[in-house]
Amino acid sequence: MRSDKITIADVAEALQVSKTTVSRAISGKGRIGEETRQKVLAYIEANDYKPNVIAKGLAQKKTYNIALVIPGDCNLVDMPFFQNSMQGICEEASANDYDVMLVPVTSSNSGNLERMIANDKVDGVILSRSLVKDTNIALLKEENLPFVMMGTSRDAKILQVDNDHRAGCCALVSRMLHSGIGRIGLIGGSKNYVVNRTRMQGYEDAFHAACSKLDMALIMEDCDSADKIASAAAKLVQAGVGAIICMDDFVCSVTLQVLAEKKIAVPQQIQIASFYDSTLLRNAKPAVTSLVFDDRALGALTCKVLLRYIQGEEVEPKSLLGYELVIRESTLF
């Protein structure tokens, strides 16, 4: 920390007022004469005084920091999501004079989060990838530290903000069903992630809404590696599906590769759609029909909810953001 900066005491002395007065002029709290306040503000402006946030925080028992817990082991598909939502979070945070501390956590090691909590360096926490069983949640509850899940949790008592994967996936599948494609296959990702289960629900919703029966033989869940995805895709081709829905863009890119190798034309022979559009598929050929979500907005809203909650304001227990269905070359509708 540099020490060449002026303090509230310097300002007070220069203006021949008390530190209390200066503090009040800045914070706007407490009664203060309009003239005095203008004088203080003018001096501050002219001399480029910035209050020390750390000291302010100590006095108020706040830190003006939030922690962002990110997986310490995420893979390529997730990265655009984290990158974008992080931007949104940081933007919203800094608009409220908050800063964001990075806390990488792996399933085997939540020590970083524990340290952060023990050190009292944050006022709240954003959890970012929702696992079906998440040990961090227990930790935070125990410590009684405000937190919000960027994603979905089955525990209704947890504040959560998410993209509306369920409605989006339902809309995409409905569209497919109505376009008259007979057999629709699904290749799903790891069931450890809540988001994959949520997407699955959307898929089922669409079938129920259309009064169609799910064909379990065409649903390949838990494909968490390129190999599993490839063999699932091969099976669906074998089964003679007219379309394949991929649960995320990694699934989709592997599936496209398999089809290309088998010389199956997309969309003429098999149509393809993806439940999530990341930059990973940006250059795919053909361009893939998919759902797109505004991850930056998701981050911003998540942060906003957390900050409101910290400030004791009323917040929605669960917020959902919309989706966009973008039709591209990989489908015929």
Binding site for a second copy (CB under 8 A): 1-5, 50, 52-55, 57-58, 61-63, 65, 68, 72, 74-76, 79-80, 82-83, 86-87, 90-91, 94, 97, 99-104, 111-112, 115-116, 118-121, 123, 143-145, 226, 253-254, 257, 279-280, 282-283, 285
**C-beta of 243 vs 259, nearer to a second copy:** 259
Question: From a second copy, DNA, none, which one binds at residue 237 (CB under 5 to 8 Å depending on kind)?
Answer: none
**C-beta of 62 vs 191, nearer to DNA:** 62
Question: From a second copy, DNA, none, which one binds at residue 86 (CB under 5 to 8 Å depending on kind)?
Answer: a second copy
Assess 201 for contact with DNA (CB under 7 A). no
Tell me which stretch binds DNA (CB under 7 A): 14-22, 70-78, 88-96, 97-105.
14-22
Could you say which residues in the range 21-60 bind DNA, by CB under 7 A? 21, 23-24, 26-27, 29-37, 50-52, 55-56, 58-60
SS3 track for the chain = CCCCCCCHHHHHHHHCCCHHHHHHHHHCCCCCCHHHHHHHHHHHHHHCCCCCHHHHHHHHCCCCEEEEEEECCCCCCHHHHHHHHHHHHHHHHHHCCCEEEEEEEECCECHHHHHHHHCCCCCEEEECCCECCCHHHHHHHHHCCCEEEECCCCCCCCCEEEECHHHHHHHHHHHHHHCCCCCEEEECCCCCEHHHHHHHHHHHHHHHHCCCCCCHHHEECCCCCHHHHHHHHHHHHHCCCCEEEECCHHHHHHHHHHHHHCCCCCCCCCEEEECCCCHHHCCCCCCCEEEECCHHHHHHHHHHHHHHHHCCCCCCCEEEECCEEECCCCCCC
User: How many residues in the shown chain lie near DNA by CB under 7 A?
Assistant: 32
**From CA 251, how far away is CA 259, in angstroms rounded?**
12
Assess 19 for contact with DNA (CB under 7 A). yes
Cis peptide before 267 (omega within 30 of 0): yes
**C-beta of 23 vs 153, nearer to DNA:** 23
Q: How far is the CB of 330 from a second copy (least distance, A)?
A: 17
**C-beta of 123 vs 162, nearer to a second copy:** 123
Question: From DNA, a second copy, none, which one binds at residue 17 (CB under 5 to 8 Å depending on kind)?
Answer: DNA
Question: From a second copy, DNA, none, which one binds at residue 153 (CB under 5 to 8 Å depending on kind)?
Answer: none
Question: From DNA, a second copy, none, which one binds at residue 72 (CB under 5 to 8 Å depending on kind)?
Answer: a second copy
| Chain contacts with DNA (rule: CB under 7 A) | 3, 7-9, 16-21, 23-24, 26-27, 29-37, 50-52, 55-56, 58-61
